[in-house]
């Protein structure tokens, strides 16, 4: 897709996002857009940067590595990892990405922390991934474990825990989506209250099919693939 097409799509998304924010008295500036480029070529990443977005999301290490090799440095783009990260790929992830949004276990966080320290890398920004619907198949921490996990991960050297990430279940039912996003927002507040070291300024939630509900419920970052770049 050309950057003109992307700009036109982005204009519509920005408008919808602004209306969702206004419905609940939020400023649209509180919500950033992460362009999810997984499944698209490196041209999509270039087009996204040209359209003026500052961050992209990828969910597979080999795919991101291949694109990175083709593109070289992209100083105007922050690369966010949003997929399931195996511990044996942690080192590669630390080299490729500026933010790891999908820290879904304390063991993974420990592995990342150890490598940052050993390799003397700059601190890595991470989000702790929730499993707010409590779905068995989904990665992340349930409501009862989240506070303890955030506390444990905040104590690890070499990681900067800026917030939480959540994914809604696959459903179009608005009431379900809304309650999942609300629960994530409440967990963010609880973590901020109970873990003084937790910054908690980022709440990454909302995808192409549910981002307006996520914004109404307090998202500060929506992760949009299909809406901006078309079908994969
Ligand atoms: C693919 C993906 C997205 C974007 O999905 P769309 O429905 O295309 O907007 C967002 N977050 C995560 C974690 C993803 O894997």
Task: Provide the domain count of the chain.
Answer: 1
User: Closest ligand 1 atom, CA of 227?
Assistant: 9
| Helical spans, DSSP H, in the chain | 3-23, 42-50, 61-71, 90-96, 106-118, 143-154, 174-194, 211-216, 226-229
Per-residue pLDDT at 170? 86
Q: What is the pLDDT of residues 109-137, one digit of tens each?
A: 999 999 999 999 999 999 999 997 777 77
Q: Whose CA is nearest to atom 14 of ligand 1?
A: 82
User: Closest ligand 1 atom, CA of 223?
Assistant: 10
Three-class SS of residue 202? Answer: strand
Token pair for 13: 């998304």
- Give the domain CATH number at 101: 3.20.20.10
Per-residue pLDDT at 138? 78
- Mean pLDDT of all residues in 199-215: 97
Q: Per-residue pLDDT for 160 more than 90?
A: yes
Distance from Cα 163 to the centre of ligand 1, integer Å: 18
Q: What is the pLDDT of residues 17-60, one digit of tens each?
A: 999 999 999 999 999 999 999 999 999 999 999 999 999 999 99
What is the C-alpha to C-alpha distance for residues 61 and 95, in angstroms, rounded to an integer? 10
Distance from Cα 119 to the centre of ligand 1, integer Å: 31
The DSSP letter of residue 220 is S
- pTM comes to 0.97
Q: Could you tell me if the CB of 208 is within 6 A of ligand 1?
A: yes
Q: Which domain holds residue 111?
A: 3-229
């Amino acid at each position: 897709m050309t950057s003109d097409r992307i700009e036109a799509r982005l204009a519509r998304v920005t408008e919808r996002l602004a209306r969702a924010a206004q419905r609940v008295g939020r400023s649209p500036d509180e919500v950033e857009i992460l362009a999810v480029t997984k499944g698209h070529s490196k041209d999509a990443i270039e087009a996204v940067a040209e359209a003026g977005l500052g961050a992209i999301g990828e969910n597979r290490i080999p795919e991101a590595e291949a694109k990175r090799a083709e593109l070289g440095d992209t100083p105007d783009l922050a690369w966010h990892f949003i997929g399931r990260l195996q511990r044996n790929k942690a080192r590669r992830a630390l080299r490729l990405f500026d933010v790891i949004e999908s820290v879904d276990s304390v063991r993974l966080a420990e592995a990342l922390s150890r490598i940052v320290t050993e390799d003397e890398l700059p601190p890595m920004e991470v989000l702790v991934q929730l499993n707010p619907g409590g779905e068995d198949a989904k990665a992340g921490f349930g409501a009862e474990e989240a506070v303890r996990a955030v506390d444990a991960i905040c104590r690890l050297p070499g990681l900067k825990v800026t917030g939480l990430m959540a994914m809604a279940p696959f459903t179009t039912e608005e009431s379900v989506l809304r309650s999942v996003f609300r629960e994530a927002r409440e967990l963010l507040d609880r973590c901020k209250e109970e873990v003084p070291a937790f910054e908690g300024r980022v709440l990454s939630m909302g995808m192409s099919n549910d981002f307006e509900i996520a914004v109404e419920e307090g998202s500060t970052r929506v992760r949009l693939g299909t809406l901006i770049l078309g079908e994969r």
